[in-house]
Structure 1
Amino acid sequence: MVFTPPSWVPKLPHDPPDSIPISEFMLDEKHGRCALKSSRNPFTCGISGKTYTAAEQVDRVELLARALAKEFGWGPNEGTEWDKVIGIFSFNTIDFMTLAYAVHRLSGIASPANAAYSASELEFQLKSSGAKALFTCVPLLETSLKAAKAAGIPNERVYILEMPKEFSGDKKLPFKTVDQLLLDGARLPKLEALKWEKGQGARQTAYLCYSSGTSGLPKGVMISHRNVISNVMQISTYEKPTRDRRPVSERSEVCLALLPLSHIYGLVVIAQASTWRGDEAIILPKFELPSYLNAIQQFKIRTLYLVPPIIIGMNKNQPACAKYDLSSAQTVFTGAAPLGAETAEELQKLYPAMKIRQGYGLTETSTVVCSSDEKDIWFGTSGSLLPGVTAKIMSIEGVEITGYDQPGELVVQSPSVVLGYLKNDQANRETFLDDTDGKGRWMRTGDEAVIRKAPSGNEHVVIVDRIKELIKVKGLQVAPAELEAHLLTHPSVADCAVIPVPDDAAGEVPKAFVVKSSSVGLEENDRMVARDIAKHVEEHKARHKWLKGGVEFLDVIPKSPSGKILRRLLRDKEKDARRAKGAKL
């Protein structure tokens, strides 16, 4: 049975265009965006208050594109997109998207990297993507220079995205900034117009984002221009009935842009879908409770785009929250990890007027597949399918499930389903299925789900469990196999397995089960060995990959006859141990 959006969901007004870049779609009124004069300022720094208008953003993108063309010798219609890849390794700034659109104006690729990456992780992405230059910020400069050097990017191809002085200080550095490039661009001649063929936007990569797979290193996800354009249209069409019910003066709003713009949630939902509708995004570089609460109060933010750990933090820190006026916040939208019904209910009791919505999506669907409407909220579910999305539930045996409340793998079809993984044919075969009906390829999400009828009568998607064995730490993905491969480089580790364990602050954290190597003497203290193994991870991996769940020693790692780790047995063992201690399961 193929599931489709409820009847109340409007259909897309037209097929997403396939012959224009994202930059043109986002900045040119003829493609349906909110009129520039009617739009709020797209990006405002929540620390300094620095901002620019929508019309000024259009100019800034063009000037920066001119400067990049001169800097790198690139022409808008010369070479392929793979000749023009730029890495972006930065906290959120008001010019993050200006840079991305300038790259698209030159028919290039923007490859955003997680700001929590270590130098070796960033090096991998720079090499894998073939980045020709790296844009970073002062707080991440040391890591950037190490990674750039290892990836063969010279210092003169490292540039700075400006941040508030509270983060970057006043020290002058020998690197060009985006503001300096904009000044250069103002002195340069106009660029020639892009000359794209029919269908080019559907087959050309715009963003190369890296997603943790079920095994091995992160995979480069090739996201086309049309993929993002499609999802912006899908989100905006889904939201249109709600916005149309408001007075004209309230149809654009102020939203929070705290979540990393390097993550697909921040990149598409917040930075692009919101500003296309004329919203203003208040940029915060990272989560700190006082600056987060102050931004809501100061800028009268209406929509909070969050992840579950922030909501849990609000529930647990009410004395701090009570010091600020949060009455402007009418909607909370959460994603990146499931929000438990109990957590949502607790927040609702604290803020009865808030509409607490949840969505579901992946990097590979760039981004949203389903979302709860503010008039059809059912805690514990991820709402209804967006326009243009169809879904199936498939059993382990590959049989299509046709009824409600029957779990299976969620398989989706949408114009936002990406081109595939970079140079990874096996993963592409495992994840993306053939286009059998002419409406686009189907994608296996790797998540177990059921379809349920809500009290409203609408079909809602409920994510039950992950088939893919990913750990989500504050919304960031950790692949157990990546950590296991690293642990095996430690001399004390003969074999190992990593699983997620519950954590109040992060949702989940990694825990390692380790079989000690014969080199570990009987006299060595287990606690000291465990600490040394954890330190080995901390020295080489980003913070969200640290073994906050601990290290436990076993005589043997349970495996199937084919050698696959039986993680379910380890999860059951962990649950039994926690139950015995009365800890959270």
Structure 2
Amino acid sequence: MSFFPGASIPELPFEVPDDVPIHEFLFNEKYGRRPIKDSYPALTDGVTGQSYTADEVQEHIELLARSLSKRLGWRMEDSPVANLKPEYTLTPNSELLGEKVLCIYSYNTIDTLTVSWAAHRVNAVSSPANAAYSAGELAYQIKDSGSKALFTNAALLPVALDAAQRIGLPKDKIFLIDLPPGPWRDDKISAKGYRTVQDLIEEGRKLPALGPLRWKKGQGDLQVAFLCYSSGTSGLPKGVIIQHSSVITNVLQHATFDAPERKLLEKETGDGRLKALGVLPFSHIYGLVLLVHQSVYLGDEMVCLPKFDLTAFLKAISDHKLQLLYVVPPIIIVMTKNKKVCDKYDLSNVRTIWSGAAPLGLETAQDVARLWPKWIVRQGYGMTESGPCVTSTPFNDPMFGSSGCIIPAYQIRLVSEEGVDIKEYDQPGELVVKSKAVVLGYLNNPEANKETFQDGWLRTGDKALVRKSAKGNEHVWIVDRMKEMIKVNGLQVAPAELEAHLLTHPAVADVAVISVPDERAGEVPKAYVVKASSVGLEESDAMLIRSIKKHVEKEKTKHKWLRGGVEFIDVIPKSPSGKILRRFLRDKEKEKRRQAGSKL
């Protein structure tokens, strides 16, 4: 079926349940999840090997919910949306959140999502925060979200306490999530006097049981599950209001899309379950939904690592015989640039490497296929606002460089700069999408809501095109962010395309491309490059710059040449999910030109 105009590939196997919270959907076999096995691990610590079965996770949710209810004074019966009348007009503001919000500022652990699900058990909202935040950034999210409690790790406690003091959050509303040993832990930090998640779970055993949640039909479409913060391209982070039915829908969409692969796996192994890697931040929508929620629903074992460290990453893959690697392009680049290190570990059980959060370049995907020919290289596209996943690579039709095909119950359009729907292949336009997985909107931000959510459609701000594979499937290619496209004499240049090509140069460890002003062409591309460790001291910067420029000129048309120059830099600024933060480089460039007295 063609995607033009706005068509969708096959629908879901059953109607999305809108009267249950996420955790009930995940752990109840009547909603299509893979049967629960008593001894099969659902969540495993990739360092210590400690595991929880699905039944144990459910028990922890119940016990922790009792403690939250008592310590925070949260009545389970109170829901901000339960009594809204049918004629209620949706306004994405604090009214939807209510007073029961907690913030999770933590590295990944096997207890992190239990805190969120326990909050949902008492009709509360979870607001995950980036573990790389400064005290000021964390304070902003706690205050903006209206969080009444904070869960963090001992290693992050100094920052957490600084943030809490700034906005007046009492210390007795700060709780700790234990971390396994590793480079992410600092045992010199005293955490004496703070209750841990395990303390609260044990406390819950002595408290009376909570009654069942009784949601009305349609409540899941308005009840907020998560308040995630999206940095966007400028300004302060925006709170993205994610309803329960959004997460449930996207888990079902992805499970339906991958069902043919799972059936084949079942024939091969007799089970259909996989061991998957959970190293991406659970505070980010990719890690939150696709890694944890989808893995639990599919009955997979999610092996968690607190954060990325190459040695711990490779050791976990080897020790736990992992088969499915959820990663981002920077991790893939580190692997391809350190093949000799990777070869020291047993990666033979890996079947699939799935990349998301930022475009995986054609050349990088080809490198993975060349270095590890038995691996299936897959990619997906999505954003926090889309719930997240919109496209995914079919396991039997990878097309390197593409972000895959539309997943079930999603509709897309490509819209030209003039606002006209594009109906031809290989013609780029803004990607506009529609699904029940799309979120409710931004918190208290009517201007951003008006700009992004229009007539039921979500404007992604990404430029994309559609191409047919040799097998006839329609693949979506993300060209770049609309606002980051470079126009050279009116011709468009995608930074991501040049970055992917530049990474194939042996002297380039990492790279970002931005536009710089030019009197004749309007704009031209400039590359910021991190040198590879293999670059010798005898190689001058001038020699390297000439070599890098020729590398582009040999393969790319003239308007894509690096006429803005090449500048070496120690590190490329990136978000935790791997997206290049080009705005920081643009600011750096503007300041440099200002100091030089440039009028451009």
Q: TM-score range by the shorter chain?
A: 0.7 to 0.9
Q: 2:197 aligns with which of 178, 198, 214?
A: 178
Structure 2 CA distance for partners of 1:149 and 1:287, relative to 1, 3 Å = same
Aligned to 1:198: 217
Q: 2:107 aligns with which of 88, 91, 109?
A: 91
State the shift of 1:213 in Å: 2.5
1:325 equivalenced with 2:346 (yes/no): yes
- Match for 2:162: what amino acid? K
Q: 2:468 aligns with which of 438, 446, 453?
A: 453
Structure 2 CA distance for partners of 1:418 and 1:547, relative to 1, 3 Å = closer
Give the match's secondary structure for 1:44.
strand
State the shift of 1:154 in Å: 0.8
- Match for 1:2: what amino acid? P
Q: Higher mean Cα deviation, 381-390 or 208-217?
A: 208-217
- Match for 1:260: what amino acid? P
Give ranges in structure 1 of 5+ residues lacking alignment.
435-440, 474-498, 507-533, 560-568, 571-585
State the shift of 1:52 in Å: 1.2
Q: 2:423 aligns with which of 394, 399, 402?
A: 402
Q: 1:272 aligns with which of 271, 289, 293?
A: 293
- Match for 2:471: what amino acid? S
Aligned to 1:106: 122
State the shift of 1:42 in Å: 1.4
Aligned to 1:479: none
State the shift of 1:548 in Å: 7.3
Q: Deviations over 1:63-121 (max 9, x none)?
A: 00011001111111125342110000000010111111000011110000111111101
1:553 equivalenced with 2:576 (yes/no): no
State the shift of 1:40 in Å: 3.2
CA contact 2:129–2:228 (8 Å) conserved in 1 = yes
Q: Deviations over 1:170-199 (max 9, x none)?
A: 855211000000000011111021121211
Aligned to 2:20: 20
Aligned to 1:142: 158
State the shift of 1:2 in Å: 2.0
What is the TM-score with the length of structure 1 in the denominator? Answer: 0.80
1:237 equivalenced with 2:256 (yes/no): yes
Q: Deviations over 1:343-362 (max 9, x none)?
A: 11111111010000010000
Structure 2 CA distance for partners of 1:503 and 1:160, relative to 1, 3 Å = farther
Give the match's secondary structure for 2:258.
helix
What is the TM-score with the length of structure 2 in the denominator? Answer: 0.78
State the shift of 1:249 in Å: 3.1
Structure 2 CA distance for partners of 1:328 and 1:503, relative to 1, 3 Å = farther
State the shift of 1:237 in Å: 0.5
Aligned to 1:169: 187
Distance 1:505 1:36 in 2: 49
State the shift of 1:543 in Å: 13
Distance 1:331 1:558 in 2: 51
CA contact 2:357–2:579 (8 Å) conserved in 1 = no
Give the match's secondary structure for 1:111.
strand
Aligned to 2:78: 78
- Match for 1:418: what amino acid? V
Aligned to 1:56: 56
CA contact 1:5–1:384 (8 Å) conserved in 2 = no
Give the match's secondary structure for 1:36.
coil
1:380 equivalenced with 2:409 (yes/no): no
Q: Deviations over 1:20-51 (max 9, x none)?
A: 11121112222222222278311111111111
1:251 equivalenced with 2:272 (yes/no): yes
Aligned to 2:147: 131
Size of the aligned set, in residue pairs, is: 500
1:444 equivalenced with 2:459 (yes/no): yes
State the shift of 1:504 in Å: 5.5
1:350 equivalenced with 2:371 (yes/no): yes
- Match for 2:119: what amino acid? V
Q: Higher mean Cα deviation, 350-359 or 143-152?
A: 143-152
Q: Deviations over 1:447-490 (max 9, x none)?
A: 000111111111110001201459999xxxxxxxxxxxxxxxxx
Q: 1:287 aligns with which of 298, 308, 312?
A: 308
Give the match's secondary structure for 1:461.
strand
CA contact 1:132–1:157 (8 Å) conserved in 2 = yes
Give the match's secondary structure for 2:367.
helix
CA contact 1:446–1:468 (8 Å) conserved in 2 = yes
Q: 2:361 aligns with which of 340, 344, 363?
A: 340
Query: What percentage of aligned pairs have identical amino acids?
Result: 46
Q: 1:2 aligns with which of 1, 5, 29?
A: 5
Q: Deviations over 1:287-326 (max 9, x none)?
A: 1111111101100000000111111111111111111110
Give the match's secondary structure for 1:121.
helix
State the shift of 1:505 in Å: 9.1
Give ranges in structure 2 of 5+ residues lacking alignment.
81-96, 486-494, 500-524, 533-569
State the shift of 1:4 in Å: 3.5
Give the match's secondary structure for 1:553.
helix
Give the match's secondary structure for 1:83.
coil
Give the match's secondary structure for 2:412.
strand
CA contact 1:45–1:284 (8 Å) conserved in 2 = yes
1:462 equivalenced with 2:480 (yes/no): no
State the shift of 1:264 in Å: 0.3
Structure 2 CA distance for partners of 1:135 and 1:468, relative to 1, 3 Å = farther
Structure 2 CA distance for partners of 1:274 and 1:198, relative to 1, 3 Å = same
Aligned to 1:491: none
CA contact 2:220–2:243 (8 Å) conserved in 1 = yes
Give the match's secondary structure for 2:270.
helix
Distance 2:246 2:596 in 1: 41
Q: Deviations over 1:118-172 (max 9, x none)?
A: 1101111111000000000011111111111112211110100011144253855
